[in-house]
Structure 1
Amino acid sequence: MFNVFRKEIEFAGKKLVFETGKIARQADSAVMVTLGGTQVLCTVVGAKKVKEGQDFFPLTVNYQEKTYAAGKIPGGFFKREGRPSEKETLVSRLIDRPIRPLFPETFLNEVQVVATVVAHDMENDPDIVAMLGCSCALTLSGIPFMGPVGACRVGYKNGQYLINPTIQDLEGSELELVVAGTQEGVLMVESEAKELSEDIMLGAVMEGWKAFQPVINAIIDMAEMCAKDPWDVSEKDPTLVKLYSDIKAKYAGEVAQAYSITVKQDRYAAVGAVRDKVVAEFVTEDMPKDKVASEFHLLEAEVVRGGILKTGKRIDGRDTKTIRPIIAEVGVLPRAHGSALFTRGETQALVVTTLGTGQDEQIIDSLEGEYRERFMLHYNFPPYSVGETGRMGSPGRREIGHGKLAWRAIHPLFPTSEEFPYTIRTVSEITESNGSSSMATVCGTSLSMMDAGVPLARPIAGIAMGLIKEGSDFAVLSDILGDEDHLGDMDFKVAGTDKGITALQ
């Protein structure tokens, strides 16, 4: 009945096992991954057709932890798992970020990736296991995926790197870094560090990249044994190629002129006016609006990227190294314990700190057990911050992820309970946004906490860097704008003090 395929290797001194063919056989691919006593079931399903009028790639990643994995029963009245926890949301993002760039641009079928933690040995964190399992499942599924991807956690203690350390090994570590990539290079980094140097951080990234190469080779071996037939990937429609050529020939100059406007809202209005002209001219019965708009977006990317590479001058008139004007104010709210308004160009964060007692500590019920958290940092991104209308409600994945990044940047400098016996909640309200809002949150949080009298060892600041690369030409951008984030090749956030780095993403 079962046609089971299994691959077993040693990964950083532990046995890592991939198995497929026994569970969830109706999915396009399902892999049970085991590391030590931790097991994660990873499944992949892709829609066989693209939805009518769809012009984007709908990839969904869901990481879920089942309490039975740790021999526990959920709390509450309903006694079952409910909305995703913060960790489930963060790990879903952790899996999503390295795999998303590896799908072909012309592939728009909906894909759902689900990672379910079914066993936890309290030593090996399931997040790395889930990342490896999802990479393997995608590679075996036949869905067009230019992987596989490997992943590894790296610690740093007593001057030595720890490769894939256990939860216990990480105690006392000066670094917790997760790196993911392919055989060719690194795709994603997420870390918290205790003011480490650039050399140590870069060394950790490279040590992690080297460590997961055997895992990538194992997944390739597995694919040679049991991968499904690859799906056909269509080439770009020749009519769309001609459409792009026609739009570029007639409107490239106007797009470049619109992008020379330095004020964001005026620039968006000018670009929108050109887009309206293109839509009016090129939309026909045979060429729908969404396809014309998509080709116009490609022209925007080419104009912005090409302009920066050729001239070194950016959308808002800066060169590649200049930081936008900064204004920092504290004590802006009279009734708050601490408050700050941090403005960098057209990005602004109103950050408020509240002090509480031990009764205000957050109780977190995780698979590893219940614990309390003294420091909370919440990030809110209302639609008015970018001049739009939109849904207001509970925080989305992006808000949770950005809040946690800022938390990681501040946490290494956070005072101990002996130094400052208060619970602290900091809220960052993004009131304007044009790139780097998570790093504005780091800067504002540092100011707000000091305004509240929190004895931070040193001020912490952050910046978002960007990369634009075409062939051998490249430009590294400091303090990127929103458009440079969307149209560029990399968004690299760095936070720290004058002594060293505290967070990377």
Structure 2
Amino acid sequence: MFNVTKIERVIGDKTVTFETGKIATQAHGAVFVSCGETKVLVTACRSNPRENIDYFPLSVDYRERQAAAGRFPGGFMKREGRPSTREILIARCIDRPIRPLFPDGYYDEVQIMANVLSADKDHDPDVLAMMGASAALSISEIPFQGPLGAVKLARVNGEYIINPTHSEIEQSDLNLLLGGRKEAINMIEVDSKEVPEDVMADAIKHAHKYIVEVCDFIQELRDACGVEKKFEVSALDEELVAKVESEIFDKLYQAKAIEMKAERKEAVDTIREAMIEKYCEPEDSEITEGIMNRILDKIEKKAVRKRLLEGKRTGNRGNDELREIECEVGLLPRVHGSAVFTRGETQAIVSAILGTGRDEQVVDGIKEEYGQRFMLHYNFPPYSVGETGMIRGAGRREIGHGALAEKALERVCPPKEEFVYTIKLISDITGSNGSSSMASVCGGCLALMDAGVPIRKPVAGISIGMITDEETGKYFLLTDILGEEDHFGDMDFKVAGTEDGITAIQLDIKADGLPHEILCEAFEQSRKARLKILETMTKTIDKPREELSKYAPKIVSTRIDPELIGKLIGPGGATIKGIQEETGTNIEIDDDGVVSISTMEGDGHLAALNIIESMFQKPEVGKLYKNAKVVSIKDFGMFLEIAPGVEGLCHISEASDKYIKELGDHFERGQVVPVKLIAIDNMGRLKLSRKAALAEMEDNGEGSADEETAQTQD
């Protein structure tokens, strides 16, 4: 019934299996990828192009339903809805390296779908989905110019691990996701702990050896399936291209010399509109607007690339020169930290907000649920590029850019043990002409320092582009690329880090691949630019402020024995609720015994801390407890609470230095009185004395020995 092809290979020290011919047989390409107990189904399908389309409509969808890990989704709805942030980021990682590997003029709709059907706790499905996408395209009729391999690499204690487990990733100081062909790399995603450029280049070189193995593995599957590629491309009429080019190339070449983006765009749009009117609007014309836009895009690209190869960048900048940078902090008084970072026409306003543990983002997926205490949200409104548009919430691009800036800064943020706050950065792009994600990194760093977050070191980011002469192979690396240098160029290489090393990388390349020697050169050029940016940033603010904003919540923390958490909570939560009501605070308890106490105003957090610490301190004989609360009154004495959950007996003879016949005539339940711990018997019972406390207070000049009035707390 099935014509099954199944092959397996050891990649690193883990066995990966490809199987096709049994599942999803009506898809144009379908591969079941397995590693351990993690299994991912990846399919590839195509459909005929839409009429007058002038771009390649590739879509990638990645889903990891919680059923794959044997769990139900949290919350009221038990059916998964829109993709999570993690799913979107992985879909982008699948999309970015394969998108350039299709023939020019191929406009069929292509859809890649990756479904995680089983997930163990060791093997991450993201890299399996990337392998599966390449394999599914390779065994289909779709003209994919692969194969493309993918591997993950982690460095633990100085050793490289290929396709690491989740626990190994948590221990690593370098996490790398690499996509590429046998000849060169196509995509890089990195988060790392200030790793030097030479170590990073070595790690990428090491990982590429396994890229070659994965490509051979996919090629083996393709050869076994023996599918012939069948496709059509929409070729342009070269005579028409040459005719239009002769009319407008020089005009476009000159228009690209205009420095300001809006004026440059207006000049280019005028030229394009004239050509569309001339060739498309006559009734007898067979040239559609879609075809003309393709021709105009091709000529515009040629004009931009010619200028760059001649060393004529917009604004007459050198290839290694940054645009003018301006920094400002403290712009927004009510947020807890703020900054404006401007580089040329690219500008980001970044706000820093500090919160408590209750403000953590709960992340619920196939991995164990956890709280995210540092986050960066990136917003790209249409006015940032002088346009109008619908506001529909964060799109994939915004989520991707925010995640890149987030991991660039997260590695320098203090651990929870040193800084208990939840941290949120919001980057609003108010102007864009290239590298707005790196502007978010720089602005985010400034906002963190303005907020008083004790980051280890300042972080900056920069994007390096590349332009290559297709005839001679000569290339130029471009520092701080503009939007059109990215769009018409060959590479967008974003690198962020401190003065000592890299914290994040994202590479996308439109050429066939990036050779290792050019990668090393790009690293060095980005390092020099990053140091210059850091120098400018630190002139504005060179270290975190010593005090937090007066509008930030006040938080203190302490640690108790995890086995005694129940004592702090009390029966039905009575103890912790009582402390919160009495002090006007919020108290959060982690499973490891860390207790965080917060308040928005006043010093209630200090009062609550004192109460909690007294609860878990061993009672000391001879210690004065000035705020003991009467819990109950008996004929022989009264029981008092010297700390929540800690009670002792004050015998009637120790209640006063005067004779008392009935305690109820002088004291009542809830009354606060001072007592002194005078003894602990061999059963651990506490003996208290108000008489001794009053005497000590009188000696210290704090009160009268016969004073019997006290505050009542109901």
TM-score, scaled relative to structure 2 = 0.69
In structure 1, the residue matched to 2:215 is 216
Output one character per residue of 1:57-90: Cα deviation in whole Å (capped at 9) or x when no partner.
Answer: 0000000002111000112222111110110000
1:44 matched to 2:41: no
| C-alpha contact (below 8 Å) 1:141/1:227 kept by paired residues | no
1:335 matched to 2:337: no
Q: Bigger shift: 262-271 or 220-229?
A: 220-229
1:264 matched to 2:265: no
| C-alpha contact (below 8 Å) 2:29/2:139 kept by paired residues | yes
| C-alpha contact (below 8 Å) 2:106/2:234 kept by paired residues | no
| C-alpha contact (below 8 Å) 1:31/1:41 kept by paired residues | yes
Output one character per residue of 1:242-300: Cα deviation in whole Å (capped at 9) or x when no partner.
Answer: 12111111111110111110011111111111111221222252001121121111111
Distance 2:171 2:15 in 1: 25
Q: Which residues in structure 2 correspond to 1:232-311 (within 5 Å)?
A: 232-234=231-233, 236-237=235-236, 240-283=237-280, 284=282, 285-310=285-310
In structure 1, the residue matched to 2:502 is 501
In structure 2, the residue matched to 1:364 is 363
The structural deviation recorded for 1:228 is 2.5
The structural deviation recorded for 1:160 is 1.8
Q: Which residues in structure 2 correspond to 1:384-403 (within 5 Å)?
A: 384-403=383-402
Q: Helix, strand or coil: the match of 1:170?
A: helix
The structural deviation recorded for 1:5 is 0.4
| C-alpha contact (below 8 Å) 1:144/1:233 kept by paired residues | no
Distance 1:140 1:316 in 2: 47
* Percent identical: 48
Structure 1 stretches of 4+ with a deviation exceeding 4 A read none
Q: Helix, strand or coil: the match of 1:23?
A: coil
In structure 2, the residue matched to 1:489 is 490
The structural deviation recorded for 1:233 is 3.1
Distance 1:235 1:110 in 2: 13
Distance 2:436 2:365 in 1: 29
Distance 1:400 1:357 in 2: 24
Output one character per residue of 1:207-241: Cα deviation in whole Å (capped at 9) or x when no partner.
Answer: 1111121221121111111143211333724xx21
Output one character per residue of 1:451-505: Cα deviation in whole Å (capped at 9) or x when no partner.
Answer: 0000011110000110111231211100000011110111000000101111110
Cα pair distance change 1:235/1:395, threshold 3 Å: closer
Q: Helix, strand or coil: the match of 1:343?
A: strand
Distance 1:261 1:71 in 2: 59
Distance 1:227 1:75 in 2: 45
In structure 2, the residue matched to 1:410 is 409
Tell me the matched-pair count.
Answer: 501
Q: Which residues in structure 2 correspond to 1:314-329 (within 5 Å)?
A: 314-329=313-328
The structural deviation recorded for 1:315 is 2.1
In structure 1, the residue matched to 2:26 is 26
**Paired amino acid for 1:136:** A
Q: Bigger shift: 75-84 or 254-263?
A: 75-84
Q: Helix, strand or coil: the match of 2:171?
A: coil
**Paired amino acid for 2:500:** K
**Paired amino acid for 1:100:** R
Distance 2:141 2:260 in 1: 46
1:420 matched to 2:419: yes
Q: Which residues in structure 2 correspond to 1:116-155 (within 5 Å)?
A: 116-155=115-154
Unaligned runs of 5+ in 1: none
Q: Helix, strand or coil: the match of 1:72?
A: coil
Unaligned runs of 5+ in 2: 507-714
Q: Bigger shift: 56-65 or 362-371?
A: 362-371
| C-alpha contact (below 8 Å) 1:151/1:208 kept by paired residues | no
In structure 2, the residue matched to 1:2 is 2
The structural deviation recorded for 1:158 is 1.9
Q: Bigger shift: 226-235 or 441-450?
A: 226-235
In structure 1, the residue matched to 2:657 is none
Aligned-pair RMSD on alpha carbons? 1.0
In structure 1, the residue matched to 2:224 is 225
Q: Helix, strand or coil: the match of 2:250?
A: helix
TM-score, scaled relative to structure 1 = 0.98
**Paired amino acid for 1:382:** P
**Paired amino acid for 2:267:** A
In structure 1, the residue matched to 2:172 is 173
The structural deviation recorded for 1:169 is 1.5
Q: Helix, strand or coil: the match of 1:134?
A: helix
Q: Which residues in structure 2 correspond to 1:373-384 (within 5 Å)?
A: 373-384=372-383
Q: Which has the higher contact order (CA 8 A, sep 6+)?
A: 1
Distance 2:128 2:308 in 1: 40
| C-alpha contact (below 8 Å) 1:304/1:315 kept by paired residues | no
